[in-house]
Chain A
């Protein structure tokens, strides 16, 4: 079964750093892009960026460029989303999803989501 499984919920203070993970299984991890999507409380989906674990080619939404870092460790089939200095406005659910082959906007399957709460 193809699946992506995310790390658990996090509670952090403003200014702290954070790295959340997304582990793929049931497929060749290096041959599919992985995308990250933000959903702020009560709001819609926002595309953050994608990474190709095979060569770590990474593309960011202009809205998130410089705000987060997307990376991957193909040796353990895991992609990451990280912040160096969190803000309260980073409070959201973050989803990862595998990008379908021959596509950039087809995401399937999705992880269960990681809730990140940033509060003093």
Chain B
């Protein structure tokens, strides 16, 4: 059970859009529509931003959106704001009640 592959870092200017990819296999990302995304600010607990590939929990701005194609899921943040600067982790169901996280992506707002 290997970690999902994410870029180590991405960046964008305020107002721009950025996309973070999350690549797995047919046994996790590609096999189920159970991908979630978490935002983690320094020294804070992670926060759920997207679940079931595309769904947003109540309270999460609609600037955050999720998608999936084959074995790769993506998180897109539009209209970047300074407070979006954080680490982002993807997470996928991997069968047999198990779950795997991505390695994390550091988003820098320039």
* Residue ranges of A at the interface with B (Cβ–Cβ < 8 Å): 35, 37, 44-47, 50, 59, 61-63, 95, 97, 100, 103-113
- B86 in the interface (beta carbon within 8 A): no
Check B104–A45 contact: CB distance below 8 A: yes
List which B51-110 residues lie within 8 A (CB) of chain A.
Answer: 51-52, 57, 87, 89, 91-93, 96-104
Say whether B102 contacts A44, CB under 8 Å. yes
- Quick check: B101 and A45 within 8 Å, CB to CB? yes
Q: Identify 26 residue pairs between A and B in the complex whose beta-carbon atoms are under 8 Å apart, listed by A's number.
A: A35-B99, A44-B87, A44-B103, A45-B101, A45-B104, A47-B91, A47-B99, A47-B100, A59-B96, A59-B97, A62-B98, A95-B46, A97-B46, A103-B51, A103-B52, A104-B93, A104-B99, A105-B51, A105-B91, A106-B34, A106-B36, A106-B48, A107-B38, A110-B45, A110-B46, A110-B47
**7 shortest interchain CB distances as A-B pairs:** A59-B97, A106-B51, A108-B48, A44-B104, A110-B45, A47-B99, A105-B99
Decide if B35 is an interface residue (CB 8 Å cutoff): yes
Residues of A within 8 A of B103 (CB): 44
Q: Which residues of A are found within 8 Å of B47, using beta-carbon distances?
A: 110
Instruction: Determine the interface band of chain B, counting residues with CB < 8 A from chain A.
Output: 20 to 34
Instruction: Indicate if B18 sits at the interface (CB-CB under 8 A).
Output: no
Q: Give chain A residues whose Cβ lies under 8 Å from the Cβ of B52.
A: 103, 106
Contact, CB under 8 Å: A104 / B3: no
Residue pair A104, B97 in contact (C-beta under 8 Å): yes
Beyond the given pairs A37-B101, A44-B3, A110-B45, 7 more chain A to chain B contacts, judged by CB atoms under 8 angstroms and listed by A's residue number, are A45-B38, A61-B1, A103-B34, A103-B52, A105-B36, A107-B38, A107-B91
Best-surrounded residue of A45, A63, A113 (most CB of chain B within 10 A):
A45
Residues of B within 8 A of A50 (CB): 97, 99
CB distance B3 to A61 under 8 Å?
no
Contact of A62 among B1, B46, B48 (CB under 8 A): B1
Query: What residues of A have a CB within 8 angstroms of the CB of B87 in the complex?
Result: 44
> Do A107 and B93 touch across chains, with their CB atoms under 8 A apart?
no
Chain B residues closer than 8 Å to A61, beta-carbon distance: 1, 98-99
Complex: how many Å from CA A73 to CA B82?
A: 42
**B1 CB, min distance to chain A CBs, angstroms:** 6
